[in-house]
C-alpha cells in the first residue's frame, strides 16, 4: 500500500515537471485540437431552414392506398384524398450553407445519398393496405430542388415547395421506380389546408 502511494506521488511530480518543461509543446497540441474540433462543432450547429413540401399524386388507380415512407418502414398518411388526386404535406430541413450544391436536404422522409436525394411514395401493401394486390413504391427526385426555389419559398409567406407526379403506370397499377415530375417540377406554391376525405 505504501509503495503504491509513493509510486503515484512520484508519477505526479514527473507529470508536473514535464508540463512545466514542455509548456510550448502543450500549447501547440491544444492549438491543433482546436483546429480539428472547431470545424466539427460548426458543422453540428450550422443554421437550418425548415421547408414545407407538397406532393400531389394525380390519376391514382381506384382503391389503391398511397403513403410517403419515412425512415426504413414508417409511413405518413396523405393530407387529402379524392378520386383525382392524393396530396401529401411533409416538412424537410435544409443545411443553410452555400457550399452545398445541390442543397443538403435532411429529414425523416428524405432518402438516398446527399447528391441524389429522393422520397418514396409507397402504394398498396407498402402503404399499409395489406389486402392489396400491389406492392410498389415510386422514387420522387428531391435533388433537383434548387437554392433559388428554396430562397423564394422562404421569402414567400404561407407558401410551400410543390410538385405533381403521375399516380398510374402503363399497366394500370400504381406508378413505381423513378417518376417524372409533371410540368415545371418543384416550384413555389401557396399552402393549402385540406383534410383526408
* Res 3: pLDDT: 45
Gap between the Cα atoms of 138 and 118, Å rounded: 10
Per-residue pLDDT at 44: 52
Q: Kindly state the cell numbers that stand for 82.
A: 379524392
Partners of 60 in the beta sheet?
none
CB–CB of 153/188 below 8 Å?
yes
The tally of CA atoms less than 13 A away on the side-chain side of residue 139 is 10
Is-cis flag, bond preceding 102, omega within 30?
yes
Question: Are the C-beta atoms of 167 and 86 separated by less than 8 Å?
Answer: yes
Give CA separation, 31 vs 38, 39, 83, 141, in Å: 11, 13, 64, 43
Q: What is the 3-state secondary structure (H, E, C) of the chain?
A: CHHHHHHHHHHHHHHHHHHHHCHHHHHHHHHHHHHHHHHHHHHHCCCEEEEEEEEEEECCCCCCCEEEEECCCEEECCCEECCCEEEEEEEEEEECCCCCCCCCEECCCCECCHHHCEEEEEEEHHHCCCCCCCEEEEEEECCCCCHHHHHHHHCCCCEEEEEEEECECCCCCECCEECCECCCCCEEEECCCCCCC
pLDDT in tens, the chain (197 residues): 544 554 554 455 445 554 455 555 544 543 454 344 444 444 455 689 999 999 999 999 999 999 999 999 999 999 999 999 999 999 999 998 766 678 999 999 999 998 899 999 999 999 999 999 999 999 999 999 999 999 999 999 999 999 999 999 999 999 999 999 999 999 999 998 655 54
Amino acid at each position: 500500500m505504501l509503495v503504491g502511494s509513493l509510486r503515484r506521488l512520484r508519477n505526479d511530480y514527473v507529470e508536473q515537471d514535464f508540463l512545466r518543461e514542455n509548456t510550448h509543446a502543450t500549447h501547440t497540441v491544444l492549438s491543433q485540437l482546436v483546429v480539428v474540433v472547431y470545424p466539427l462543432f460548426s458543422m453540428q450547429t450550422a443554421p437550418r431552414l425548415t421547408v414545407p413540401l407538397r406532393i400531389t399524386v394525380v390519376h391514382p388507380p381506384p382503391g389503391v392506398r398511397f403513403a410517403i415512407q419515412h425512415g426504413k418502414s414508417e409511413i405518413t398518411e396523405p393530407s387529402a384524398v379524392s378520386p383525382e388526386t392524393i396530396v401529401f404535406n411533409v416538412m424537410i430541413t435544409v443545411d443553410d450553407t452555400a457550399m452545398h450544391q445541390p442543397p443538403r436536404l435532411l429529414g425523416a422522409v428524405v432518402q438516398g445519398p446527399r447528391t441524389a436525394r429522393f422520397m418514396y411514395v409507397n402504394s398498396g401493401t407498402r402503404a399499409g393496405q395489406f389486402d392489396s394486390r400491389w406492392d410498389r413504391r415510386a422514387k420522387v427526385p428531391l435533388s433537383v430542388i434548387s437554392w433559388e426555389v428554396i430562397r423564394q419559398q422562404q421569402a414567400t409567406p404561407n407558401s410551400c415547395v410543390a410538385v405533381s407526379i403521375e399516380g398510374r403506370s402503363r399497366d394500370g397499377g400504381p406508378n413505381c421506380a423513378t417518376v417524372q415530375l409533371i410540368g415545371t417540377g418543384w416550384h413555389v406554391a401557396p399552402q393549402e389546408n385540406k383534410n383526408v376525405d
